[in-house]
Amino acid sequence: MWTLQELLLATHATILCGEQVIAWDTFCQALELMEATFSLSSKGVRNFVNCFYAYSDFQDISGSNNGQTIQRSHSEVAEVNAEGKLSSLVQHARIRHATNPKDKIFGLYGISERLRQPFPSPDYTQSVAKIYMEATMAIIRHENTLWPLDNVWSGNRQSGLPSWVPDWSDDYRWFDDVLIELGGVPLDSADRETTVHWEGPVDELNYDINFTPDDGIILHGQTLGTIEVVFDDRARALIEKDILAAQRPSVEYELALKRHGAERIRFFRRIYAECDNAEHAEARLLAFCWLLLTYSPNQPKDGFSRGFQDLHTLFKSTILDCEENRRYIFSQAKEKLQKAPNEHQRHPRVLAFVDSDIDAAIDVVLSLHQGPEYIIRSTPEDARPGSVFRLLGSATGFYRTIQGLSINKAVFIADSKVIGYAQGRVCVGDSVVKFRQASSPSVLHPCGAHYELHSPAVVKTEGALSDLLDSAVSTTYEIRSKRHCEKDNDEDDGDGKDDNDNDEDDDDNDKDEEDDKKEDEDGNED
């Protein structure tokens, strides 16, 4: 973590590796030439690329480049400009290692002073929650932005943080090898971009952003809808735990992957079925299609739409009820597994499971593919069921593009006219809100008269977003920390129900304070 500050503040930086020496500007030029050949699934490579971009951003926003030029795409430059100054460097720092999580902020103090947007002075006696909250407040005040709200969700969030404060110690952008196999996408791909996706009108006015003495924040915005239906796929989420626990490679690991694939097919099948049953089914399906496109925005729109329609048709019972079609799908899945280079994929237990579950077989056919041409080559003409043969060939690329959407995300329908997805698990009754000055909508969990911020969201409507906003009432929202929300519920509800079942169980806040005190003993060593 500290090396990032040393690099950015250095007049001239030199890299040493054993007896090898290279100037930083020369290294940047070489990295720029070689970057396209690197695999971003490698954490080591992405760490170097992160330094490369952090240095480039710092030169851009500090107004000096020491004679060095690093080429950036238009989208990357726009991202730097949109995020402002300090916020972009805080984001870069999230993948840096720090023994003490407090150093995720304190390690940027010198940089923040150079940018004339200083963080609060380092004080290791404060809790992690207090430090992260004050840093978030500094970003919001210095840049007049709600950018931090787009980064609050974390699958491993520290306890004690106000719900509107990101866990700056967590790098949510890194997918490990297992999640990549499940359809996750690496850094700088769709998963990062969709957190700030909004196609509605942008309010250029500035609104007051106020903070409360009890660690809350008061924001202005409009409610887009109340969540009525949630597709959170809990069965698939439980299987992910089995995948993470299984030894790799092994038969148990492959079985868990195939179970996960079957649940993923059922996940998308349920959403398609819900759209079919909507009052305006065609409009709902179209909104769902464009929602999926936001997850992979660089796909050609026409081809993406065809893949969406073909997968929809493939899921219809009239196709899968045909015995000939089912035999063909099972045979294709078995053939692909038998030809797999991994012996565990060819194990009799894996083959038997896939042969017993049509959804597992469909996932194998659509996932373990070498493009539509493979299906054509591998199937003799006299053994091709016309409709299902064509649909499988067309849907393979589309399915591979969108299958990661089911990882750590929930798809929801709000007020029968909004369809969207959010990080983590949301609940029926949660509110979908667009704050003034925010770059994307958010999901809020009601807590008495206040709210807990869950995560950013991506939404589509059956009509125009502008029409939805025109009919939405402007409201003021007070967002509190989880412990204050729980206190509100205890006082206001009196029904014994847990209104926060969409979150993981948090550790007691007193334990968090004890951990902070232990960290203070060695906090200045890193």
33-76 pLDDT, tens digit each: 766 666 555 556 666 666 666 666 666 655 554 444 434 443 44
Q: What is the pLDDT of residues 120-178, one digit of tens each?
A: 888 999 999 999 999 999 889 888 888 888 888 887 788 889 999 999 888 655 555 55
Residue 495 has pLDDT above 60, yes or no: no
Angle at 523 between CA 520 and CA 526, to 5 degrees: 170
Q: What is the pLDDT of residues 220-229, one digit of tens each?
A: 999 999 999 9
Residue 428 has pLDDT above 90, yes or no: yes
Residue 217 has pLDDT above 90, yes or no: yes
Residue 345 has pLDDT above 60, yes or no: yes
Residue 377 has pLDDT above 60, yes or no: no
- The partner residues of 455 in beta bridges, in order of sequence, read 443
Residue 451 confidence (pLDDT): 94
For 67-105, the three-class secondary structure string (H helix, E strand, C coil) is: CCCCCCCHHHHHHHHHHCCHHHHHHHHCCCCCCCCCHHH
Cα 328 to its chain centre, rounded Å, is 36
Report, in angstroms and rounded to the nearest whole number, the Rg of the chain calculated over CA atoms: 25
Give the 3-state secondary structure of residue 278. Answer: coil
Specify whether the CB–CB gap between 196 and 83 falls below 8 A.
no
Window from 203-217, 305-319, 487-501 with minimum mean pLDDT: 487-501
